[in-house]
Chain A
Amino acid sequence: MDQITLQRVLPAVFRGSESEPPVSSSEIWLRESLTFYRPDTYIIEAESGTGKSSLCSFIYGARTDYDGAILFDGTDIRTFTIDRWCELRRTTLAYLPQEMRLFPELTVMENIEVKNSLTRFRTRAEILAMLGRLELAAKADTPARLLSVGQQQRAAIVRALCQPFSFLLIDEPVSHLDARNNAAVATLIAEEASRQEAAVIATSVGNKISLPTFTLLHL
């Protein structure tokens, strides 16, 4: 997959307030046509309540309460079946949800295995190496519920990277990370994206992920 195109997309909650901020000032909502190209990097900056998590959910197929159309390589994603979505989520589209959605009763390693056993994309050693780079190796066998929010965020990033992808969708990846961890995460993501020649779409409320080059869009 090489392009994601948004055509006059507007969350259903903003229906009727098209001429008011934040819709009127948005560089994304209601744009005639906006395309994200592979392998470019985009950072979408937004204030809270402007619908950036909604945007990620729309693109990931998790929500459909929007007007307009979202196209993957020219095909309207509303036509995709559940099975097609599941396949995309294993092979093409990687996603870090803002609320991480780790399984609290499983350890960090088990949480990652649930994904990796489906894709068989990484060896255990590779996973441990990624956890090590994000200073989580010691927490591999700790239940996710005992982790701090920042630690959960890094564990979820490693899990998101356990699959092949053309587009990586990361919703506020560094909101709870300090500068050092932000840099570590950014390096890991940039490395993986360039290795897979993938596009990265990251959102941020204030704390931007320190990726080297990117297109900045205001929501």
Chain B
Amino acid sequence: MISPLSRLLRANISAPQLAGYAAANLVGLVIILVAIQFYRDVSSVYSGADTFMSDDFMVISKPVSLTSSAGFTPAEIAGISAQPWAAGVGRFETARFNVAASVDMGGRGMSSQLFLESIPEEFLDVRPGGWGYTPGEEVPVIVSKDYLTLYNFGFASSHGLPQLSEELIGMVPLRLSLSGNGRQQWVDARIVGFSRRLNTIAVPEEFMTWANSRFSEQPASDPSRLIIRLDRPGSPEAEKYVSEAGYEVAGDKTASSRAAYFLTLLTGIIIAIGAVISALAFIILVLSIYLLLQKNRARLTDLMSLGYTPRRLAGRYIRLIAVINLAVTCLAILALWGASAEWRDPLSTLGVSPTPLFPTIFISLIIMSLLTLSTSIIISRSIRASFRR
């Protein structure tokens, strides 16, 4: 049995208008949420803690040419260190001797010529335990993550070989043959970490100093690459200085930051489209409410004349809107869940773990709470305005 009051207030409520609002708002909200979640998932590729793409480091080198030396002179290094944006400068030290590595895999030996480099420990993005070297002990080695990816997805799958995990590779003992200066020596080594920042095979500085002094025939040369820690990510002063000096910024950092930029831009556009749709839906709702309250104005005035408070009358309409908005939110979250499942698998094959849905769901709750709140305020004010004829 519907109470007489409900029958009075329900008059003139337009179901098609409310359904139109709900549908339009649902579309807008789903677009916003899916864009946000996709951005968060995909951008974790660019902004993970151990990635090379994090903007606060920069690896620079000189362009290779026929005439000029490819090393940084001490004066140039001092010049860079003196810049306010350079929070730290590290030199890439190269092995000036022959290195060959061999692996013993259940009787089948594999051997390869190698190169080694070292940088100060503070510039490493992975900090494996036991980094450092004392003669006679195992040499810890950090390898670029790209090499493992290249092997797993390029080499292994085409040659029918098993794919290797980081943990498995860490268990394989390596033997390094160091030779030069009339000497030769075997040392044990182990891969202890994979770096996204360094595109090299890195060993501790202590080992490099020891080995260079023992096996090198040439004197120490200027470093060909420098790693710089910036005072803030993507410092434009740093980029300006580097390009004016004619240095090259290493790797695909610029490409990936360009990709990240386009991703941000694209996400921004899509979120804006979703927001416009939601805003239009909100305007439809507001117009529909004004129309409804205008049509019911005499009734509302009469009810307040009987002693009904505006709050009590507004509560009826606010509850209706809140229920609709809650349903829209639930459906949008469901759609978000379904859509994100579509890209979850392809992303995890790329080694990217998708981010949790909760923060995006939280955003949807905030958006819808704000919409409900503004609608409530509009309804309350409009009803209070009907207090006097």
Interface residues in chain A, defined as those with a beta carbon under 8 Å from any beta carbon in chain B: 60, 62-64, 82-83, 85-87, 89-90, 95, 97, 101, 103, 105-106, 110-111, 113-115, 117-119, 163
Contact = CB atoms under 8 A, between A and B. Distances in A.
A90 B307 contact: yes
Given A82-B384, A86-B309, A95-B305, 9 more contacts: A90-B307, A101-B302, A105-B8, A110-B4, A113-B4, A114-B5, A114-B303, A114-B306, A115-B307
A118 B306 contact: yes
B101 interface: no
The DSSP consensus for interface residues of chain B is: helix
B389 A63 contact: yes
B293 to A, nearest CB: 16
8 contacts: A62-B389, A82-B304, A82-B384, A86-B308, A95-B305, A106-B4, A114-B306, A118-B308
A103 B299 contact: yes
Contact of B307 (A87, A101, A110, A111): A87
Contacts of A60: 305
Contacts of A97: 305
B224 to A, nearest CB: 80
Query: Looking at B7, B299, B307, which has the most chain A CB atoms within 10 Å of its CB?
Result: B307
A118 B306 CA distance: 9
Interface of B: 3-5, 7-8, 11, 299, 302-311, 384, 387-389
Given A106-B7, A114-B5, A82 B310 contact: yes
Query: Looking at A90, A95, A118, which has the most chain B CB atoms within 10 Å of its CB?
Result: A118
Given A63-B389, A64-B388, A117-B5, A83 B306 contact: no
A86 B302 contact: no
Contacts of B304: 82, 86
A119 B8 CA distance: 18
A89 B7 contact: no
Contacts of A115: 306-307
B305 A62 contact: yes
Given A114-B303, A118-B306, A82 B4 contact: no
A45 to B, nearest CB: 25
A59 to B, nearest CB: 13
A163 B308 CA distance: 13
A100 to B, nearest CB: 10
- Interchain residue pairs A-B with the least CB separation, the first 10: A90-B307, A89-B307, A110-B4, A86-B309, A101-B302, A114-B4, A115-B306, A82-B387, A86-B307, A106-B4
Contacts of A83: 309-311
B14 to A, nearest CB: 18
A119 B4 contact: no
Contacts of A110: 4
A131 to B, nearest CB: 16
Nearest to B383: A82
B302 A89 contact: no
A105 B388 contact: no
